[in-house]
Chains A and B, each alone.
Chain A
Amino acid sequence: MLGSFISQVFGPMELEFFRNALMVSTLAGALCGLVGVFVVLKGMSAIGHGLSHAIFGGFVASTLLGINVLLGAGAWGVASALMIGGVTRRRIIGSDAAIGVITTASFALGLALIAMFDRTARNFEAVLFGSVLGVSLADVLVVAAVTVVAVAVVVLHYRSLLFVTFDPEVAEVSGVPGARLEAILMLVLAASILVTMQVLGVTLVAATLVIPATVARMLTSSFSRMLVLAALIGAGSGFVGMVASYHLDVQSGPAIVLVGAGLFATVFMITGHRGRMRVGDLVSAHGGANSYLKEVRPEDLASPQSRLAVPPQFVPPSSGR
């Protein structure tokens, strides 16, 4: 009975593309979970969301021009990341709006290019929502490589990253190269979005950055444990989501995000008040977490653009917003 159930669930493992897709989604989940810890703690969820949309423009442009997609969209993503980083760092008035303009314009450009020059449009729908199909071994290796780099960055710069994430000003006074670390983080974030968007979908990557880190925060008050937990939760959601995606015939992005959201709801209920205190208060009186965050007023909580460490109610970002 159980045996047949297992063989039914994991039957598609015999298919090579599914094995690859499963590996990619698991790695992608772990990668986004790890990077997401910084996104959440630095209040960068808006940036993560924006960046994924920005990269879409580069993806479409390089596909239509016949340039290597990873290189083309990568360069586009790096340029957007640095631009967003520069704007945010200088605290120019309305940096939120600046992020919105840069990234949404890029996304819109991508959509416009498709409408004008592409006849099939099938290719691009996969990038918007994530697809299991056509995942090659090369894709697995690329995601694995970025994951290794991300882990190396986090381990080698652990102390500096912790310091600069918690207390950027004092870190700078103490000689931690804050601007350089932030640039490295932005690059790792851009690379992570770039290589995972095929499976996770441009419009859903932001959720896979935010959910595992938020769930991990509800479970622990230690930075190092939060990193490990977020990566494990991300990997688990990626794996389960991909299996569900195959059997329910749902795109992989939504499947993975829904598994994560289910986990979030479960942990939210199980950890009760304690867990809610931990994430809820990321945005309370001491919401002035770092240079990006100013005082958070209750009316800000309703706005999807508010730069909260964690959105109080979880709204998976959608392309329409």
Chain B
Amino acid sequence: MRKADDLLISLDQITCGYGNEVVLDRVDFSIERAQFTGVVGPSGSGKTTLLRVVTGTVSPAAGSVWQSNGLRLAYVPQVETVNWNFPVTVGECVLMARTTRRGTTSEGSTRGSYGRWAPWPSRDERRLADEMLARLGIGGLADRHIRELSGGQQQRMFIARALLGEPQLLLMDEPTSGVDVKTRHEIVHLLGELNSEGLAIVVTTHDLNGMAAHLPHLVCLNREVIAAGTPGEVLTPAVLERTYGAPMEVLEHGGMPVVVDHYGRDASSVRAIGNSGKSS
């Protein structure tokens, strides 16, 4: 099958499940060079599974996955799934990206030391790690234990590890879950910068206003793709109700869509909830 030159990966009619439960149902999903997509949907809507199909750690029950030749992709897991007490320093963590030979085709920059078996890093590797950490604004922290970093710094460390593999496509699972507003802004801006340098990025998020509304392209997912397009196109009450199974309202503020929960036609029901909450 001929694909457009810019296409990095394309999922065609993917169906996926665990046991008898269908998690993804005939999903089409494709990513082009330098695309920045947010996958939104409620918990259990198949967001993480979709990422896993893209990374290849989950094989679909039906459908096909097409990958551009020699695609280098990097995955950043949810920060919550990591054992932050593991005995490892920031520098050691970042250099995990250089464990295997796979994932590099660019000659010159990584010649010789890549896929090195020796337990200790070469001087080149240490320099590379330091440079990458500095580029992401956490320079000088290489010798710290990973626990000593703040939430935003931990996220940056993982991005640094991902970038050290020189990926064309970066996949991040819920990069802004559990971080404060300032950190969320920093992460969104950092990803925007990386994307403007030509890196394709896919993030999953359930944060519609803080994250999704700021992205150029969204895919609404709930077992199947409900809608795909710009935030202006997909953040509509009709699409959101089908995605989240609950009515929502979309306001506009400063040219951006703002999604708010919708508790019913008249405000009295909202007041009733408020009152019952107080009286008990």
Residues of A within 8 A of B (CB): 41, 155-156, 158-160, 162-163, 165-167, 169-176, 217, 220-226, 278, 281-282, 284, 286-290, 293, 309
Contacts and interface: CB of A to CB of B under 8 A. Distances in A.
B128 to A, nearest CB: 15
Contacts of B73: 173
Contacts of A166: 82-83, 86, 88, 93, 96
A270 B179 CA distance: 35
B77 interface: yes
Interface string B39-66: 0000000000000000111000000000
A41 B84 CA distance: 12
Contact of B100 (A165, A176, A222): A176
Interface of B: 55-57, 73-77, 80-89, 92-93, 96-103, 116-120, 145, 147, 161, 165
List the 6 shortest-distance A-B pairs measured between CB atoms, nearest first: A289-B83, A175-B102, A158-B119, A175-B100, A159-B99, A173-B75
Contacts, number: 107
B100 A160 contact: yes
23 contacts: A41-B83, A41-B87, A156-B117, A158-B117, A159-B96, A159-B116, A162-B96, A162-B99, A163-B96, A166-B82, A166-B86, A167-B77, A170-B77, A171-B99, A174-B74, A174-B96, A174-B99, A174-B165, A176-B99, A281-B84, A286-B80, A286-B84, A289-B86
A169 B75 CA distance: 9
Nearest to A172: B57
Nearest to A159: B99
A286 B161 CA distance: 20
Contacts of A293: 83
Contacts of B93: 166
B85 A169 contact: no
Contacts of A165: 86
Nearest to A165: B86
A169 B96 contact: no
A155 B85 contact: no
Contacts of A176: 99-100
B87 A217 contact: yes
Nearest to A160: B99
B92 A162 contact: yes
Contacts of B87: 41, 217, 220-223, 225-226, 278
A175 B120 CA distance: 20
A42 to B, nearest CB: 10
Nearest to B119: A158
Given A159-B119, A173-B75, A223-B88, A309 B83 contact: yes
B99 A173 contact: no
Contacts of B147: 281
Q: Which of the listed residues B75, B80, B86, B145 has the most CB atoms from chain A within 10 Å of its own CB?
A: B86
A160 B102 CA distance: 13
Contact of B102 (A41, A174, A290): A174
Contacts of A289: 82-83, 86
A120 B86 CA distance: 47
A294 to B, nearest CB: 10
